[in-house]
Amino acid sequence: MTIVDDVVSQVIYELHQVPAIATQAYATPIILTKVNSIHTELLDKFWWPRLMKLFTVALDGVTGIPTTDLTGPISSIDDFKDIQFVWPEGSPNPLKTAQDSYNPTLYGGTTPLLITPSYDIAHRPFAVLPAGATGNVVVRARQRPPEPLSLGDTVYLDKLALAYGAAWRYTTDDATVPAAIDLFHRAYEDRKKTLAQQINSQSISFYGSVAEVNTGWWEA
């Protein structure tokens, strides 16, 4: 299992600094900051398979909010942007997100129709419309490793993308030769493209009625 220490060490190596975390007493915290920044960017950019979790939760029938927390082995789900799909149990079609201009009082009944952000209860960042909807829904959501990352934390994202991105950010601050900055920038961008292709390489069911919620396949 890769830990953040490994990523920082690789950045130190890529930057041709004297190796070792302890040796680079001052570069290490800066690199760690860059790694955190790139980590957040990449975390939001892809639906990382290792971070995705399926939850089956019951609706409360009053507010449209689930009755249990969305808590996985890595983290709880606290942000609506981390919700990829919400299906009524047994349905192949995920619920669509209500537009901001929708008037929720216009929706009645007990059948789930739409979802909307809700932060009234921690770890339950969405509500189903209509508010009186009942039954279970299945949620596919992205867990977020605790941020900022520390050196001993596990890395669930791509190590190479993190290292190239952090090295690029570091060299940009360095005002080192432009070619070195371009080199790391290109490496970072190429790695992201590769990741997009890899994550997209499994066969996808073209079920006609499947709708995206608030994101594309690979980009939020």
Partner 1 sequence: MAKPASTRTSARQPQQQLETSTVRTFDGGLNVVDTELNMTPRYARVLKNLERSLDGSLSVRPGTVFFADVNQWGNSNDIINGIYFNNHAICVQANGAITKTDASGTTTQMLLGGVNPWTTAITRAHFAVFNNDLTIWNGVDKPLIIPGNPTDPNYMTLQFLVDKASLSNINTPRGLYAATQGRYLVVAGVPDYPSTIFVTNQDTSGTFPGDPAPNDAIQLDIGSRVSIGSSAITGLVAYRDKLLVTFERGVLPLTLGNYTGSPAVHTPTDDGFIEEYGCVSHRTLVSVSDDAFFCDNIGVNVIRRIALFSTLRPERASQYIDPLFTALMQALTTAQVEELVHAVYDLRNRRYLIFVPVISGGVVTETVCFSYTSIPSLSISAWAELRGWNWRCAFRSTLQNIFFARGTKLYYYDFDGEDRCADRLNDPAVNSGAGEAISFDWELPWADFQRRMHVKQSHYLGLDTQGTGTFTCEMYIDNYRTQLGSDIPYLSLKFVAGDAGGFGNVPYGNSPFGGGRDSSEERLFAWPSRFKLMKLRFKGTTTKPIKFVSITIAYTRGSIRR
Q: Which residues bind partner 1 (CB under 8 A)?
A: 15-19, 23-27, 30, 172-178, 181-182, 185
Please report how close the Cβ of residue 161 comes to partner 1 at its closest, in angstroms.
18
Q: Residues with Cβ < 8 Å from 164, sequence gap 6 or more?
A: 14, 184, 187, 188, 191
Question: Residue for token digits 């129709």?
Answer: 113
Rank residues 74 and 183 by Cβ distance to partner 1 and give the closer one: 183
Rank residues 27 and 213 by Cβ distance to partner 1 and give the closer one: 27
Rank residues 2 and 172 by Cβ distance to partner 1 and give the closer one: 172
Please report how close the Cβ of residue 118 comes to partner 1 at its closest, in angstroms.
38
Please report how close the Cβ of residue 8 comes to partner 1 at its closest, in angstroms.
12
Task: Please tell me the distance from the alpha carbon of residue 169 to that of residue 30, in angstroms, as a whole number.
Answer: 10
Please report how close the Cβ of residue 5 comes to partner 1 at its closest, in angstroms.
15
* Pairing, β 96-97 against β 114-117: parallel
Rank residues 16 and 193 by Cβ distance to partner 1 and give the closer one: 16
Q: How many Å separate Cα 184 from the centre of its chain?
A: 23
Work out the burial of residue 156: count CB atoms within 10 Å of its CB; fewer than 13 is exposed, 13-18 middle, 19 or more buried. Answer: middle
